Structure 1
Amino acid sequence: MFDFFKKKAEEIPAAAAVETPRHFTNSIGMEFLYVDGGEYMMGRNPQYNEGGEVESPEHPVRLGGFWIAKYPVTQEQYFKLTRVNPSFFKNDKVEEESSRRHPVEQVSWFDAKAYVELMNRFEGKTRFYALPTEAQWEYAAKAGGNTRFSFGDSEALLDDYAIYEYSSNGRTSIVDDKLPNRLGIYGLLGNVWEWCEDDFFANYNGAPNDGSPRIGGAEGESFKVRRGGSYKTGYLCLRSSFRGYSRPDLVANDIGFRLVINGNPLR
């Protein structure tokens, strides 16, 4: 699924030997990594006795490649475009020198969408930057596997990868405080929940299988999906298939977001 294994150099034609860049930094210093497209099983893995109807049924999703932010949006990056910092964990709440590298929080889904629009305008793009779809987010989190967490199954390793209730000291931390997942993406586990594009539905019956967002319908009008758990949550919320949801106008000091790029930023 992911291009982890390469042919030996002597087997690669000369014209194909130069690999396409997989890292991009935009005009405000936001770093993105390219994720190869492919097919994966979305939803709870039946071999684990965890999750429930909300993560079911497990189903195949095939999606194209996309770029995902290496880190959640930081307070510094949010301020650069909006000239405000709504976050709770700043100034006297955390070390002021490092607070700019904490994830922005106390942003609603509407705030996150407004930031996406600002980013597109700032860089002269149209529908280029976006919130990740729920399928994109889980695909990146599973990183080519289908284990409980993006790094494997063992809760004993969580302290190395996640800012959550047992490792957070009751507050957020800098976005690169813990280890990244297998794709080099930081902060997918804990620290702050991350808004997704999708409306929330109580199960995956009728969900799209192409990685597009699930929008509309009476059931999906009131809530938006958020993923990844936070500094407040227990380990079960850090599972790759776990789904959270809130009203789109909710503001909380453990909810932030990250961006994706649905295009080619290198052109």
Structure 2
Amino acid sequence: MLDLADLPAGLLFLRDDRVGKRWPVNLPAFRLARYPMTRGDLPLTGVSWFDAIALCNQLSMDAGLPLAYTIEGEQVDWDQSSPGYRLPTEAEWQYACTAGTPGYRYGPLDDIAWYAENSGGHAHPVGLRTPNAWGLHDMLGNVWEWCWDLYDPDTYGPYRIFRGGGFADEERALGSTVRRRSHPTFAIEDLGFRVAQSVID
């Protein structure tokens, strides 16, 4: 059974320092898992973006929900009217990370995150660090998390965004606005995901 928090509608600003852009996003209410997906107590890692998409659909099937994604080879379409499980958008992830505030972090880093200075070089069971004000754990540190969005299709083609920083990263990589990207087939030991769900009237 997935443990999802109900998050309120809100406004945030995304930015891309690489090109000097900043833009507003109005978000409707949505739901987000309190923890990254796990294998046992540890974050589920070594999953590509395509793996994460397929697992979201499997979780929807297991729960008897309509699928959020239609997958045909490497073409993935998101039905935004579906209540099925899915990846958060980049905007949803950032908004959820700091619980709707404009802060860069939601607490002292050693209290909230596993990172290079305190992780011992490996992932840790989820939920051991202090959550943010909305009860979300490990939004920063432990493992990076895939998001739905393309990074910059004109420059990087199919590359997708991941957020949050991981256990091997230095302090500068752990913040609500830090953006990374890779090919959707990319998989590594400090990259996982957490599920979101749209609130359908």
Q: How does the TM-score come out when normalised to structure 2? A: 0.87
Higher strand proportion (structure 1 or 2): 2
189, 195, 199: which one aligns with 2:150: 199
* 1:102 equivalent in structure 2: 42
Task: For residue 119 of structure 1, give the secondary structure of its aligned residue in structure 2.
Answer: helix
Matched, 1:68 2:40: no
Percent of aligned positions with the same letter in both sequences? Answer: 34
| Partners of 2:9 and 2:52 in 1: CA distance | 25
| Partners of 2:154 and 2:23 in 1: CA distance | 23
Give unpaired runs (5+ residues) of structure 1: 1-28, 45-51, 76-99, 152-156, 202-216
Query: Aligned ranges for residues 9-28 of structure 1 at < 5 Å?
Result: none
Task: For residue 58 of structure 1, give the secondary structure of its aligned residue in structure 2.
Answer: strand
Matched, 1:119 2:59: yes
The number of equivalent residue pairs is 185
Give unpaired runs (5+ residues) of structure 2: 69-83
Matched, 1:59 2:31: no
Task: For residue 252 of structure 1, give the secondary structure of its aligned residue in structure 2.
Answer: coil
| Partners of 2:182 and 2:118 in 1: CA distance | 24
Q: Deviations over 1:212-260 (max 9, x none)?
A: xxxxx44352311000000011111111100011111111000000000
| Partners of 2:188 and 2:32 in 1: CA distance | 23
Q: Which has the larger radius of gyration?
A: 1
Query: Aligned ranges for residues 45-194 of structure 1 at < 5 Å?
Result: 52-53=17-18, 56-75=20-39, 100-126=40-66, 127=68, 128-151=84-107, 157-194=108-145
184, 195, 200: which one aligns with 1:259: 195
* 2:177 equivalent in structure 1: 241
Q: Deviations over 1:46-88 (max 9, x none)?
A: xxxxxx326x42222111000000000010xxxxxxxxxxxxx
* 1:36 equivalent in structure 2: 8
Q: How does the TM-score come out when normalised to structure 1? A: 0.66
* 1:208 equivalent in structure 2: none
Q: Deviations over 1:89-141 (max 9, x none)?
A: xxxxxxxxxxx111010111111011011111112212211000001001101
Does the aligned pair in 1 maintain the 2:85–2:197 contact within 8 Å? yes
Q: CA RMSD of the aligned region, Å?
A: 1.6
| Partners of 1:232 and 1:254 in 2: CA distance | 8
137, 141, 159: which one aligns with 1:223: 159
Task: For residue 138 of structure 1, give the secondary structure of its aligned residue in structure 2.
Answer: helix
| Partners of 2:85 and 2:93 in 1: CA distance | 14
| Partners of 1:148 and 1:255 in 2: CA distance | 21
1:227 maps to amino acid: R
